[in-house]
């Protein structure tokens, strides 16, 4: 693990993740102002000593909102992906191990979910459930369940025909024992790698839904919502309102993309020395 963390990609990704964890845990200490208190006397102020990243159209401090938005964006994304992982992995194991009509129905349901454009389906679900933070997490979890289930199912279809599975059957192992003791541990690598990548994708989707008005609502500090509110002032030369939250999104997604790629190398010995 120490050698893995010395790799440039892993080290940079871990450093970015550490910064985000610090922002989540110590947001109240790091933020110089309240993230939701408007100040009409200091609207659209450029970066200065009093407001390091400037203020938005409501006079709210952008740095404070970015710090608090880290908590919302990451917790929503991680919760959604963790829920999708917890549902998708066992589901993929079952439909991969047992073929038949029920498995075919589940796969067609996945096809139905994934046939919709992500933002269209996300907007539809949020409009039904309501624009609340945890409803956004629920929507993201629904979108990611097919991803994990398909990955695990593909691995199970390959593993269940292997000689060691036949040997386990001959020794009297039950289907449950074969599934959870022999197949699942060997089918987890793609799902674990996808776990990190999906968090980055969930951050983008959370920000994207808020940007188009289908995510959280003002004055909740959220990166996509901040970019959206600042986009209207770009034509006036007010660049800081959108730029800094956009950079925060880029760094957060880059963090999990790097960690996902490095995790793939860590879990695949054939690629460690490439």
**Which residue has tokens 């999906």?**
198
Tokens 């067609």, located at residue: 108
Distance from C-alpha of 48 to C-alpha of 119, rounded to nearest angstrom: 36
- pLDDT value at position 5? 57
Choose the weakest-confidence range: 67-76, 81-90, 232-241.
232-241
Per-residue pLDDT of 191-230, as tens digits, reads 888 888 899 889 988 888 888 877 778 888 999 989 988 8
Q: Residue 69's pLDDT band (boundaries 50, 70, 90)?
A: very high
**Range in 4-8, 103-107, 182-186, 192-196 with the lowest mean pLDDT:** 4-8
| Domain locations along the chain | 61-271
Q: What rounded mean pLDDT belongs to the chain?
A: 85
259/272 Cα distance (integer angstroms): 14
CATH fold of 61-271 reads MetI-like fold (1.10.3720)
Residue-level pLDDT at 245: 93
Statement: residue 268 has pLDDT above 80: no
Measured distance CA(6)–CA(264) in Å, rounded: 15
Residue 211 per-residue DSSP state = H
Which residues pair with residue 61 across a beta bridge? 55
| Mean pLDDT within 172-188 | 84
Which of the four pLDDT bands, split at 50, 70 and 90, describes residue 60?
very high
Going by C-alpha positions, the residue among 8, 40, 61, 9 that lies closest to residue 261 is 9
Q: What is the pLDDT of residue 128?
A: 78
- Cα–Cα distance between 67 and 32 in angstroms, integer? 10
User: 């991680």: which residue's tokens?
Assistant: 78
| pLDDT (tens digit per residue) in 82-117 | 999 999 999 999 998 887 888 889 888 888 888 877
């Amino acid at each position: 693990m120490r050698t893995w963390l010395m790799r440039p990609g892993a080290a940079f990704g871990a450093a970015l993740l550490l910064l985000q964890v610090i922002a989540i845990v110590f947001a109240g200490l790091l933020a110089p102002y309240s993230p939701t208190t408007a100040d009409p006397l200091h609207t659209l102020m450029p970066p200065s000593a009093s407001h390091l990243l400037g203020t938005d159209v409501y006079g709210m401090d952008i740095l404070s909102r970015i710090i608090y938005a880290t908590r919302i964006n990451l917790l929503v994304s991680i919760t959604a992906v963790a829920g999708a992982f917890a549902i998708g992995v066992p589901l993929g194991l079952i439909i991969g191990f047992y073929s038949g009509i029920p498995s075919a129905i589940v796969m067609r349901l996945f096809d139905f979910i994934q046939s919709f454009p992500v933002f269209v389906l996300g907007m539809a679900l949020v409009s039904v459930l309501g624009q609340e933070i945890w409803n956004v997490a629920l929507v993201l979890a629904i979108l990611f369940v097919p991803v994990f289930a398909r990955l695990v199912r593909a691995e199970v279809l390959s593993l269940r025909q292997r000689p060691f599975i036949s040997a386990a059957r001959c020794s009297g192992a039950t289907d449950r024992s074969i599934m959870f003791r022999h197949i699942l541990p060997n089918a987890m690598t793609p799902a674990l790698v996808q776990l990190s990548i999906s968090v980055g994708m969930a951050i983008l989707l959370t920000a994207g839904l808020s940007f188009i008005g289908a995510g959280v609502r003002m004055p909740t500090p959220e990166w996509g919502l901040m970019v959206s509110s600042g986009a209207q002032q770009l034509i006036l030369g007010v660049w800081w309102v959108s730029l800094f939250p956009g950079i925060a999104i880029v760094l957060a997604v880059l963090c999990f993309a790097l960690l996902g790629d490095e995790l793939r190398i860590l879990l695949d010995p054939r690629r460690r020395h490439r």
